[in-house]
Amino acid sequence: MSAPVIDQTPATLGRIADGVAVALGGTWTVSQRPVSTYDYAEISTRATGRGTLRLLLRWADQRGGKLTVTGVYPAHHVYGLKSPRIGVSAARGADAVGREIMRRLLPEYIAGVDRIEDANYERRERHRERLANAGLLSSPFGDQARHSDDENSASTSFVVYGPGPSVEVRVFETTGDLKVTGVPIETLHQVLKLLADAG
């Protein structure tokens, strides 16, 4: 007996997505419906401590009725982490597609989301530490310090341009770079001596 022919239209994909969301249970819902043959359906849920989990369903090719289901990760900086993907025959029905997602895709996908959440937490903590260090280092300059910051960067910086010396500081997690211009020689000598004694 041959598999039934699947009408690979956006409406069919939308109906399958509805059924898969029900099969996955919980709060999974269809959050985006396909509007063209080449479009995808999105199923998503809010997961405690994980944000929004998103799965994309699309036709794998122009015929054959095979679906590709992909787990979509939130923005991250985890090197080498690729979105998990599986292929499932739509002819098996939405319940079977849902079971295959739970068995073959969700374990890897949720483990990846957890890795991303851990990495994002660590990145935010390092960022907070850099901001605190930059605040400490810039405090003698008060409102003259102009801060430049990007949470995703490895450093935070500030500059001070004044009638006297100009200062540029880049703050990393436990170290920093200092560039000072326009310093009188005697002051520069004292700073260098202080650095030599500290090293």
DSSP string, 150-191: -TTSS-EEEEE--SS-EEEEEE-SS-EEEEEES--HHHHHHH
In terms of pTM, does the model score above 0.75? yes
Structure tokens at 158: 């500030």
Buried/exposed code over 59-84 (b: 16+ C-beta within 10 A; e: otherwise): bbeeeebebebbbbbeeeeeeeeeeb
pLDDT tens track for 45-95: 988 777 889 999 999 887 778 999 999 998 888 888 999 999 999 999 999
pLDDT at residue 4, as a whole number: 67
Q: What percent of the chain has pLDDT over 70?
A: 97
